[in-house]
Amino acid sequence: MRVSYENKLGSIIFLMVSCLLIVFPLVYEDRNLLIIFTQIFIFAIFAMSYDILLGFTGIISFGHAMFFGIGAYSMSIFMKRFEPEMLYVFLALIVGVFLSAIVSYVVGLLTLRLKTHYYAMLTLALANLFYVGAEKWRSLTEGADGFTFRIPDFLRERVNFYLITLVLMVLVYFALKLFIQSPFGKVLVAIKENEQRTESLGFNILYYKIIASIIAGILASIAGALYAISLRFVNTSVFSIDITLDALLMTIIGGVGTIIGAVIGSGVIEFSHYWLTSLVKLHWIFERWIIFFGILYILTVMFFPKGIVGALTALKRKARHEKKHDQSDKMTG
C-alpha cells in the first residue's frame, strides 16, 4: 500500500524531529527560540483541529476562533479568580473543553444543515458574536484591554511549559492519525468527497459532521487555553478573525487534509511572523506582516494548491514514476 507507506514516512520524520525538539532546550539555551517553538506547538494543535473540519470533512468554518477564545478565557478567568495552582489549571481545561463541546454541538445542529458558504458565513457571524460579547462583558473580561494573571510556578518555568506543549502536540498528532485511519475517519473523507453518495451508502452524515466539529472544537479550546498560559494575558483578540485566519493559512500552506501539514504550516507561519517583525527596523512595511501572509496565501493557492506536503508528495511520486520508466526502458531496451 503506497498511501500508507507515505503516511508512515511522515510520522517517522515527525517523531524524529519531536525527539530532537525534546533535547533541544537542554543543549541550546535561547529564551526567544523556546517561546517561538512553544507558540508553534500550540498553533499546530489549533491548526490540526481545523484540518479535521477543512481537510477531512470538507467543512469550511470561519468561526474557529470561537473555540480558541472559549479555551483561552476559561483558563484566564480561572487563574484570575482562583489560585494559580495546577488543580485549577486542570479544572479550567475541563470547563473550556466542556463549554466548547456544547457550543460546537449547538453550532453543528444549527448550521451544519446549511450548504457550505451559508455555513461559513454563519460561523463568521457567531464568532463575531462571541467577540462582541467579550467586549461588552467587561466585568468578566475587561474587554479589549484585557487582563494579566498569574500561573502556577511549574508552568512559569519556560522549559516545562515548552515540553508540555510539545508532548501534547505529539499526542494530538498521533491520536488524529489513528482517528483518520479509523472507520469513522474514512466516512469523514467520504463526506468531503461526495456527501450525497455517502448518504446513499447508509451513513447518517449529520452525526458525522457534528462529532467532527465537536472534536475540532475541543482541541481548539485546549490550544486556546495553552495560548493564554503562554502569554499570561488575555484580551478579546483571542476571538478575532485573525485567529481563524491563522488556522486557515497554516492548514492551507502546510497541506490540507494531511495533519502533518498543519504542523508544518504552523512552523512556517510562526517563524516568518517572527522574522518579518524583526525586519521592522529596516522598513515600516514589515510591520504589516499580514500583507506578506496574504501574498504567501495567494502564491500557495496558485502554485501549490495542495500545500507544502502535497507538493512534496507529488515530487516524490514523479521521481518514482521516472525511476519505473527507466527500469522498463532498460528491460525493453
Partner 1 sequence: MTSIIETKNLGISFGNHKAVDQVNFAIDEHQFTSIIGPNGAGKTTLFNLLSGQLKATNGDIFFCGKNITKCSTVERTRLGMGRSFQLTNVFPNLTTLENVRLAVQAQKKIYFQMLKSVFSYKDHSEIAKTILKTTLLVNKDDVLAKNLSHGDKRKLELAMLLALDTKLLLLDEPTAGMSVEDVPAIYEVIERIKEEKTKTILLIEHKMDMIMNLSDRIMVLFNGKLLADGAPKEIIANETVQSAYLGGLYDEYTA
Q: By CB under 8 A, name the binding residues for partner 1.
A: 1-4, 178-179, 181-187, 189-190, 193-194, 196-204, 207, 211
The DSSP annotation for 232-247 comes to TEE-GGGGSHHHHHHH
Shortest reach from residue 202's CB to partner 1, in Å: 4
In this complex, which beta carbon is closest to partner 1, that of residue 171 or of residue 178?
A: 178
The DSSP annotation for 8-47 comes to HHHHHHHHHHHHHHHHHHHH---HHHHHHHHHHHHHHHHH
Rounded Cα distance between 108 and 141, Å, is 26
In this complex, which beta carbon is closest to partner 1, that of residue 95 or of residue 187?
A: 187
In this complex, which beta carbon is closest to partner 1, that of residue 179 or of residue 274?
A: 179
Shortest reach from residue 182's CB to partner 1, in Å: 4
Rounded Cα distance between 305 and 89, Å, is 40
Which three cell numbers mark 320?
A: 518514482
Shortest reach from residue 189's CB to partner 1, in Å: 7
Shortest reach from residue 126's CB to partner 1, in Å: 26
Could you give the 3-state DSSP secondary structure of residue 279? coil
In contact, 308 and 250? CB cutoff 8 Å: no
Rounded Cα distance between 122 and 184, Å, is 26
In this complex, which beta carbon is closest to partner 1, that of residue 153 or of residue 193?
A: 193
Closest CA relative to residue 95, chosen from 221, 205, 217, 213: 221
In this complex, which beta carbon is closest to partner 1, that of residue 20 or of residue 175?
A: 175
Shortest reach from residue 7's CB to partner 1, in Å: 11
